[in-house]
Structure 1
Amino acid sequence: MKYLVVYETLKEEIFNEKYAINEQLPNGRELAELFHVSMLTIKKAMDRLVLDGIIVRRRGDGSYVKDWKKMDVAQHNHLSGTFNQFSEGEVKTKVLKFEVERADEKIAAKLSIQAGDFIYAITRLRIIRGIPSIIEYTFMPLDLIPNLQMSHVETSIYNYIQRDLRLMVHSAVVKITGVRPDDFEKKELHLKSNSFLLQVDQVASLDNSRVFEFSIAKHIPEEFEFETVIVSNKK
């Protein structure tokens, strides 16, 4: 995809110090002319650089190179999956679906693959400290995550990806919304008719920019916690 070419080129130029730390990058129109692509393609590439912590946007003033040499390695390796976020024995997994399917257009777009490509389609119920707490719908490209087994799905797919396949989980785009459960989710989570869930949509990428996961996790509010850091770019 064109935006990945732009993203990789700019990242390499920054790491090779063509653009110095705190230096302003060319604006979107200049980059579009330089790479012979659309403004939308440039925006997608710049969004990925922002997500990676390599550049920062300053409102009304353009994009600047961050001090990427001081980035904490943990920033790039904090994604670990539900199973690893709790102490041993706190989480049990009930696999409700584990199948290989062909991706429809919506899933293919999220995974940056072609409609009809083979994917894993996984549905899991996470039981935390004895309470049915999360239903996870996970989709992964078959060619990128080969030989996935039920034993991985029952515990941690992320452990398999990082320890066995030796792939580096790098970053994710996350969206959180409040939703009403459907009948299937009410049954599995033991919910009342007037309940609501917190839905976390996640598109996760490896360090080579390949999207390896699109997931929808629906949490009961009692077991949901979200923490972030907001930093002002004003000087």
Structure 2
Amino acid sequence: MAIVAPELGRHSWPVMATHDALSARLGELLGGALIDVIEHAGETTAVVQREALVPAITALRDAADLKFNQLTDICGADYPDRAERFEIVIHLLSMTHNLRLRVKLSTDGRAPVPSLTGLYPNAGWYERETWDCYGVMFTGNPDMRRILTDYGFEGHPFRKDFPLTGHVELRWSEEHKRVVYEPVKLAQDFRSFDFLSPWEGTDYVLPGDEKATGK
């Protein structure tokens, strides 16, 4: 089954794969590794089993009619009310077919995620970012160190329950001519999370919010 990007001749940039044939092809290619295929706001997301991530991504990369041979991003999201609170989101690009695909999986934070460094060397950077910010471990990553936070940083700052006080920040002190640590307090007394919009208390629709409502 050939997968062809819709109206390919009208676009010079990669488009999200949204055609009907893709869902059937993903089911055929991934089999039991595939949990669900979600079509929303003109974008396609394949939800896969965590343990089957590497063979699933390998199949997507090597299938001649898909050839998702570039990894463009790995990131995380935290939903504290879920049993498996962390979503790992992987974005793939097919230069051959001018398509993009999103792949998702979930973990409770204790169960590690298989590393994709054996398939895409640039996965190492993204996996380190995800570990640093969310605390999700990737098995098979040869360099699982922090990459964004300061030396000696404790905790994972993108978790929704990360404390806002009691930590320190690092800065250069002109007075002491060295790097110093100082107590930090973020000016946010109460936290509630609206996953449809990053802004609260507004009476207008911000650009991008239409994706959450499907309008």
TM-score of the aligned structures, taking structure 2 as reference length: 0.26
Q: By percentage of residues, which structure has more helix? A: 1
TM-score of the aligned structures, taking structure 1 as reference length: 0.25
